[in-house]
């Protein structure tokens, strides 16, 4: 169902609705193999009818425009500040020579040496600014980084102060050597500001100060990480990077079984009241017995599931080993064949794929991970294993256990937009007891912060002579 609200917050609501439709539709395609035959299309012929494609396109256009503005505005501001920083020393040197060259005194050897110094310092500053600030952005944060704003303000204040002093005291000076020294001092100050930026942006958070506990709300998957002095939004960004690297892929299909079992159990606890006003004692007794046998049902259900998984796994292992054995036999035959009859790796992967596709599909359906692997990705992984001469176990490792989220394609993540929920300001630093939530469409990540305890070590000296002892032997002592 589509709902579009024309209000001040309509853009945000529209974005969330469009993403929900895309994810729900992709999940629907994976769950129903006959979606093309069972889908009902509802059309409207009135003047006010709007197609789904138009609404989705409108939402994407507004979202792309907003994200592009928020993404490129800091880059534009940083580029302008960088050009101002690099151009100011050169303008200081060229402006007197262009305006009144006749009034300037001759520049000696010492002054020419300062030209060489300022040239190399500007080159070093240019490379340093490129390495630290001109990197591709990893994420779009809700707030401006405090340290970056502070460094930008400090740089502008420093440059404007030098410009003011240059216009009042230096510009009318006839000593060109003093002007060159003034430009060199500006470049030195800019290098020190860049050193401060390296300390604040890159070195300050390297020392671990806090231990964070990250819990996924749907299945309780938990990880612990050590992080340094960071703001809440920067800590959230680091945690999301850890999440995509360490957490197994979120699989909603595994949660449907427990929900179905809970609904089935609650359905058995209903108490009916017949027309005479007295509760049915038989129904109450049956509900109580069903409640007592719930743990038995759970035990046998899990045991049956594990048995089916082991059975499907054994069939899959045998099918993959037979397929790889067939490939090795074909490889030996290709060594004796003519070059025109040799089969490449892609053709070999396509040739042996049908022999293991059925067993792999049944195993993935049993483990409810069939939506995580497409046929193209399986064939690509099979070709990769054949090219690198991997064993059948290496091929199966990607399917026998759920891997980290980054192992799968972005279309399988189902979490491309996150919302940071925090009572404290996201620009404030994390501290002992801080709690915040990372929310996406399907689940949440609850984060709690604990401080690393202060460790006090004491020294205890042990005299090496204290380990020595004397063994007195007698004639009747046996050693």
- CA separation for the pair 405, 246 (Å, rounded): 7
Question: Who contacts 366 (Cβ-Cβ below 8 Å, separation ≥6)?
Answer: 308, 309, 312
Output the pTM of the full model: 0.73
Question: Who contacts 19 (Cβ-Cβ below 8 Å, separation ≥6)?
Answer: 416, 417, 441
The sign one gets for the Cα dihedral 399, 405, 407, 411 is positive
- CA separation for the pair 320, 327 (Å, rounded): 11
H or E stretch covering 61: helix 52-99
* Per-domain boundaries in the chain: 60-205, 253-401
Tokens matching residue 134: 């001109």
Query: 377 burial class (0-12, 13-18, 19+ CB within 10 angstroms)?
Result: middle
Do 228 and 205 form a contact (C-beta atoms < 8 A)?
A: yes
Do 56 and 18 form a contact (C-beta atoms < 8 A)?
A: yes
* Confidence (pLDDT) at 442: 84
Closest C-alpha to 322, from 370, 354, 277? 354
Inter-CA distances, 399 with 243, 257, 316, Å: 20, 21, 10
C-alpha 220 chain-centroid distance:
19
Tokens matching residue 239: 């945690």
3-state secondary structure (DSSP) of residue 193: helix
Q: Where are the beta strands (DSSP E) in 150-305?
A: 210-216, 222-227
H or E stretch covering 322: helix 294-336
Tokens matching residue 343: 């089969």
Instruction: List the strands of the sheet with 419-422, edge to edge.
Output: 222-227, 210-216, 444-451, 435-439, 419-422
Do 161 and 214 form a contact (C-beta atoms < 8 A)?
A: no
* Confidence (pLDDT) at 297: 80
Closest C-alpha to 59, from 23, 21, 18, 24? 18
* Confidence (pLDDT) at 259: 54
* Confidence (pLDDT) at 315: 94
- CA separation for the pair 228, 208 (Å, rounded): 4
Do 9 and 16 form a contact (C-beta atoms < 8 A)?
A: no
The dihedral formed by the CA atoms of 172, 113, 185 and 152, expressed in degrees to the nearest 10 = 110
H or E stretch covering 450: strand 444-451
**Half-sphere exposure (Cβ direction) of 82: Cα atoms closer than 13 Å:** 18
Tokens matching residue 433: 């007891």
DSSP symbol at 199 = I
Closest C-alpha to 231, from 424, 445, 452? 424
* Confidence (pLDDT) at 140: 83
Inter-CA distances, 116 with 159, 180, 298, Å: 22, 11, 80
Tokens matching residue 379: 């064939």
3-state secondary structure (DSSP) of residue 430: coil
- CA separation for the pair 95, 105 (Å, rounded): 15
Do 88 and 158 form a contact (C-beta atoms < 8 A)?
A: no
Residue recorded with tokens 């600014």: 129
The sign one gets for the Cα dihedral 159, 163, 169, 172 is positive
Query: 374 burial class (0-12, 13-18, 19+ CB within 10 angstroms)?
Result: middle
* Confidence (pLDDT) at 431: 93
Closest C-alpha to 133, from 190, 207, 60? 190
* Confidence (pLDDT) at 289: 58
* Confidence (pLDDT) at 97: 82
- CA separation for the pair 133, 168 (Å, rounded): 32
Q: How many helices (H) and strands (E) does the chain have?
A: 13, 5
Closest C-alpha to 177, from 112, 90, 226, 269? 112
Closest C-alpha to 180, from 74, 284, 109? 109
Q: Per-block average pLDDT, block size 10, for the chain (479 residues)? A: 38 35 40 41 45 50 62 81 91 85 77 90 94 84 90 94 89 81 94 95 93 94 95 94 90 68 52 51 56 74 89 93 87 66 73 89 90 88 90 91 81 72 93 93 93 92 80 67
């Amino acid at each position: 169902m589509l709902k579009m609200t024309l209000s001040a917050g309509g853009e945000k609501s529209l974005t969330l609705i469009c993403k929900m439709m895309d994810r729900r539709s992709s999940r629907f395609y994976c769950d129903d193999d006959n979606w093309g035959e069972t889908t009902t299309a509802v059309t409207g012929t009135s003047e006010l009818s709007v197609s789904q494609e138009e609404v989705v396109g409108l939402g994407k256009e507004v979202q792309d425009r907003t994200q592009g503005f928020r993404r490129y505005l800091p880059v534009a501001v940083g580029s302008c500040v960088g050009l101002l920083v690099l151009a100011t020393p050169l303008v200081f040197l060229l402006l007197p020579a262009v305006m009144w060259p006749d009034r300037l005194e001759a520049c000696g050897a010492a002054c020419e040496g300062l030209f060489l110094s300022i040239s190399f310092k500007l080159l070093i500053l240019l490379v340093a600014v490129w390495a630290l600030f001109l990197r591709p952005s990893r994420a779009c944060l809700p707030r401006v980084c405090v340290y970056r704003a502070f460094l930008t303000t400090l740089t502008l204040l420093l440059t404007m102060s030098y410009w003011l002093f240059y216009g009042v005291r230096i510009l009318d000076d006839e000593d060109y050597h003093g002007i060159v020294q003034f430009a060199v001092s500006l470049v030195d100050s800019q290098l020190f500001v860049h050193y401060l930026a390296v300390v604040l942006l890159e070195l300050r958070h390297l020392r671990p100060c806090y231990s964070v506990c990250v819990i996924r709300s749907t299945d309780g998957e938990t990880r612990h990480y050590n992080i340094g002095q960071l703001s809440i939004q920067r800590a959230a960004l680091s945690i999301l990077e850890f999440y995509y690297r360490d957490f197994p892929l979120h699989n909603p299909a595994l949660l449907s079984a427990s929900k179905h079992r809970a609904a089935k159990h609650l359905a058995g606890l209903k108490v009916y009241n017949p027309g005479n006003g007295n509760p049915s004692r038989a129904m109450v007794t049956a509900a109580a017995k069903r409640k007592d046998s719930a743990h038995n049902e759970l035990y046998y259900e899990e045991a049956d599931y594990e048995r089916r998984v082991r059975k499907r796994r054994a069939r899959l292992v045998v099918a993959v080993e037979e397929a790889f054995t067939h490939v090795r036999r074909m490889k030996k035959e290709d060594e004796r064949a003519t070059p025109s009859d040799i089969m490449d790796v892609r053709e070999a992967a396509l040739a042996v794929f049908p022999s293991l596709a059925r067993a792999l599909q049944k195993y993935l359906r049993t483990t409810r991970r069939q939506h995580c692997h497409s046929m193209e990705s399986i064939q690509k992984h099979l070709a990769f294993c054949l090219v690198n001469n991997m064993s059948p176990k290496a091929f199966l490792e990607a399917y026998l256990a759920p891997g980290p989220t980054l192992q799968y394609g972005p279309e399988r993540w189902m979490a491309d937009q996150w919302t940071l929920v925090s009572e404290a300001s996201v620009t404030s630093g994390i501290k002992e007891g801080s709690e915040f939530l990372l929310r996406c469409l399907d689940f949440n990540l609850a984060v709690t912060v604990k401080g690393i305890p202060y460790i006090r070590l004491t020294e205890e000296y042990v005299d090496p002579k204290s380990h020595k002892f004397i063994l007195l032997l007698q004639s009747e002592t046996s050693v």
